[in-house]
Amino acid sequence: METKLKIAGMLTAASLLVPAFALAALPARLSGQGTASTTPVASFCTNLPQLTTQINNRLAQSTTNLQNLQQQIQTKVQERQTTRTQQLNQIRTTANQDRQAMYTQLMAKATTEEQKQAVNTFQNTIEAAVTTRQTAVDTARQAYWSALDSDLGTRQTAVATARQNFFSAIQTALTTASSQCAAGTAPATVRQTFQAALQAAKTQFATNRKAIDKIGPQVKAIVQTRNTAIKKAMTDFKSASEQARTELKAAFGK
């Protein structure tokens, strides 16, 4: 039955929070230790077009990496949901067959009309309880998957926003550097301003990423909500089935 299908998280908090920022290391390569810092100061403006191309290529690759990772997460969630649903359906099919066999055996033991009626009543009670339990479990599971999908969507939107803000800051830094070079500003000054802008972008990006990673408690909360609802469904079913068995035994004089 459903108790055999406890999905204790589906994806752990860690797997859900796999850094979707494949570009997280990018700022470090662009400032302090990357091309920008190793470019000779005197030729910074001369090499700026090449630097711009390198940076844009890195940003494009990080975008591709991020999109691939997000797609992998979505695919994993969908596959897990499909697998769990198939497993649950199989368990229910087997349980249904077992119950029908039990009803048949009970009816074979009934020797009086009263006992036969008691078996019918028992069957109707159990089937109603099963339906109630399954509905509650299905509702809890669907709420879980919907909430998980919503949280993932929210996170991906936040990731995309942080990424776009980071990219925009870098592009602004490049545009500013190009304008300063064209205006005849000393290459050393342009380079210093450029590196400062990159560092500011990196710091803001790190702040945004840290805020997004707080989705973990949300995931734990929806898992707990689902588990609580399923546990209640099981408890209610157990109570109803035990009462039905007690009444059936009374009819058979046991």
**Virtual torsion, Cα 212, 213, 217, 221, nearest 10 deg:** 60
184-224 confidence digits (pLDDT tens): 999 999 999 999 999 999 999 888 888 776 777 888 899 99
Q: Residue 234 corresponds to which tokens in the numbers above?
A: 């099981």
Tell whether pTM > 0.85: no
86-116 confidence digits (pLDDT tens): 999 999 999 999 999 999 999 999 999 999 9
Calculate mean pLDDT across residues 50-67: 88
Confidence of residue 3 (pLDDT cuts 50, 70, 90): very low
The answer, yes or no, to whether residue 132 has pLDDT greater than 80, is yes
Calculate mean pLDDT across residues 233-245: 96
Q: 3-state SS string over 166-193?
A: HHHHHHHHHHHHHHHHHCCCCHHHHHHH
The answer, yes or no, to whether residue 26 has pLDDT greater than 80, is no
More confident residue, 2 or 49: 49
Q: Give me the pLDDT at residue 254, please.
A: 64
Q: Do 111 and 207 contact (CB within 8 A), yes or no?
A: no
